[in-house]
Amino acid sequence: MPLPQLSLRPTLESDLETFFTFQLEEEANFMAAFTPVDPKNKAAYMEKWKRLLKDPTINIRTIIYNDEIAGSVSKYEIEGDAEITYWIGKKFWGKEIASNALKAFLEIEKARPIWGRVAFDNFGSKRVLEKNGFVQIGNDKGFANARGMEIEEFIFQLL
C-alpha cells in the first residue's frame, strides 16, 4: 500500500463546499467552540469565505490528503497580529494531518510572531500547536457560539 500523501495548495472557491460540510459536523463544531452563530447558514458561510479568499492579508491553503480535501489552514490578521487557524474534516482526525499540514504551512507562511487559540478542552488542537513549536503564553475567555456559553481559551505563540 502506498504511503499517504499530504500537500497544501491555494484554496479555490470550489473547495468551500467541502469546508462547509466539515464545519457542520457536530463534534467538530463543539471542539472548535468559537464558530458562527448559525453554522447551517450556507449563504452566510459562502459569502464570508469568498470575501476572505480575496483578502491579500489572509493566506488560506487547502489540505489535500491522498488526493482528497482534508481541511484548511490559514493565517489571518487581527489588529495587525498574525493568527493561525485550521479545520480538519472529522474523518481525517487522528492521522497527524493537522500537525503535518501546519508544519508545511509554517514553511510557507513566514509571519512571526504568530498566535493560535484553542478552547481549553480541545486537547487535539493544543497538541497540534505544541508539536509545531507554539508555546502557551496565556488564556482568555470568550463566548463560544457552538456551546452557547462563555468558555476559557488558551493562547499560544510561535516566535
Q: pLDDT tier at 20 (50, 70, 90 boundaries)? A: very high
Architecture, CATH, for domain 6-112: 3-Layer(aba) Sandwich (3.40)
Residue range 71-93: average pLDDT? 96
pLDDT in tens, 108-122: 999 999 999 999 999
Q: pLDDT tier at 1 (50, 70, 90 boundaries)? A: low
Residue range 56-62: average pLDDT? 96
Q: pLDDT tier at 3 (50, 70, 90 boundaries)? A: low
Q: Is the pLDDT of residue 70 over 80?
A: yes
Please give the full DSSP string across 14-46, using - where no structure is assigned: GGHHHHHHHHT-HHHHHHH-S--S-TT-HHHHH
Domain segments of the chain as ranges: 6-112
pTM score, whole prediction:
0.94
Q: What percent of the chain has pLDDT over 90?
A: 96
* Number of alpha carbons in the 13 Å side-chain half-sphere of residue 15: 22
Contact 6, 104 (CB under 8 A): yes
pLDDT value, residue 149: 96
Distance CA 16, CA 133 (A): 29
Distance CA 61, CA 53 (A): 10
Q: Is the pLDDT of residue 98 over 70?
A: yes
Instruction: Name the DSSP class of 5.
Output: -
